[in-house]
Amino acid sequence: MLKYIVKRLLIMIPILLAVAILIFTLMALVPGDPARLALGDSPTITEEMLESVRAQMGLDKPFLVRLGIYLRDIFLHFDFGTSYSTGAAVTKELASRFPNTLLLAVLCIVLMLGLGVPAGIRAAVKANTAEDRLSMLITLIGNSMPNFWLALLLVLLFSLKLGWLPSVGAKSFKYFILPALSGGLGGVASIARQTRASMLEVIRSDYVTTARAKGLSESKVIFTHALPNALIPVITITAQQFSFMLGGIAVIESIFSIPGIGNFLITSISARDYPCVQGCVIYIAFAFSIMMLLTDLIYAFVDPRIKSQYFGSKGKKVKKG
């Protein structure tokens, strides 16, 4: 298994290289002059002043030279450059915002799984009943509800009307309750619907019928035999949602003024802060790649058949076919 992990980590290098080249090229083609934005709109600005600022930003060199320097700094020195707006290192800017994004992402995923999986199991067990139809109707409404609209409703009710929770900032845990509800409730619907579909397919399997024929209790049949085999699609959706959230829920972070990665990315794009935009995109690509690796390992942990197929009975990777 260790060789498999190392191999997947090595595969990430060309992926991140391609992402770095692509985002650097796109930023170079974006209209606008960062030097002029940095100096402002004062009529006293001269061309010599602009050239001096461009030289400080490294924009006076040819594109290929700048690209080579950028790739060297990233992959050899782990240096993403310096922010045009604040003058701070991009790595420090990302590191200071990552804990807020991580906390929000974890809270959203806990909410999704804590409500979505039980709801999906209940709907599958009570399939084609009034309870099943009602739960699926609720999840359909939740899945169709834009998270920014839900965020505004929650702020209006719990912050402005009732005054129970703050609506802006990230000073303590209570500041993350409304953002987590806004970002997580839509995902609850997706998890519930996927869990129901997977459970219905598994419940009709022969081995579940055999387990019931042996006289096992319904709860043991559902949670011991059916649920583990129905979790693979649920894990896939959860990993995708978590990867997306680790990249920063830009809309939610902006509405609640949370200093996270998504909010930082939007602010950097508006300010034409190229190093920060490039650093955010590469970070998102890295987070997504790591989550896909962890997802494969979780597959092997949940389903022994997958572990045997890819790693062999002793955890060694085997060739398919």
Q: What is the mean pLDDT of residues 10-15?
A: 87
More confident residue, 193 or 42: 193
- How many folded domains does the chain comprise? 1
pLDDT at 291 over 50: yes
Q: Establish if 85 belongs to a structural domain.
A: no
Neighbour-count burial of 30, counting CB atoms closer than 10 A to its CB (0-12 exposed, 13-18 middle, 19+ buried): exposed
pLDDT for 217-236, tens place per residue? Answer: 777 878 777 777 787 888 88
* CA angle (321, 240, 2) in 5-degree steps: 50
Note whether residue 132 is domain-resident.
yes
Give residue-wise pLDDT tens across range 79-134. 888 887 788 888 998 998 889 888 988 998 898 888 888 888 888 888 778 888 88
Q: What is the DSSP string of 116-157?
A: HHHHHHHHHHTTTSHHHHHHHHHHHHHHHS-HHHHHHHHIII
pLDDT of residue 305: 63
| Cβ contact 249:308 at 8 Å | no
Whether 266 is in a domain gets the answer yes
Q: φ, ψ for residue 87 (rounded to 5)?
A: 80, 5
**What is the three-class DSSP state of 43?**
coil
Residue 2 lies inside a defined structural domain of this protein: no
pLDDT the model gives residue 320: 46
- What's the average model confidence in pLDDT over 129-151? 80
The CATH number that applies at residue 124 is: 1.10.3720.10
pLDDT bin (cut points 50, 70, 90) of residue 55 is confident
pLDDT at 22: 92
Q: Is the pLDDT of residue 295 over 70?
A: yes
Q: What's the domain range around 197?
A: 91-311
Q: How many CB atoms lie within 10 A of CB 166?
A: 18
Within-domain flag for 214? yes
| Spatial separation of the C-alpha atoms in residues 182 and 249, rounded to whole Å | 10
- Say what the pLDDT of residue 218 is: 76
Among the listed ranges 91-105, 183-197, 279-293, 297-311, which one has the minimum average pLDDT value? Answer: 297-311
Q: Which amino acid, residue 53? A: V
pLDDT given for residue 8 in this prediction: 78
pLDDT band of 321, cuts 50, 70, 90: very low
Q: What is the pLDDT of residues 256-287, one digit of tens each?
A: 888 888 888 888 888 788 888 889 899 888 88
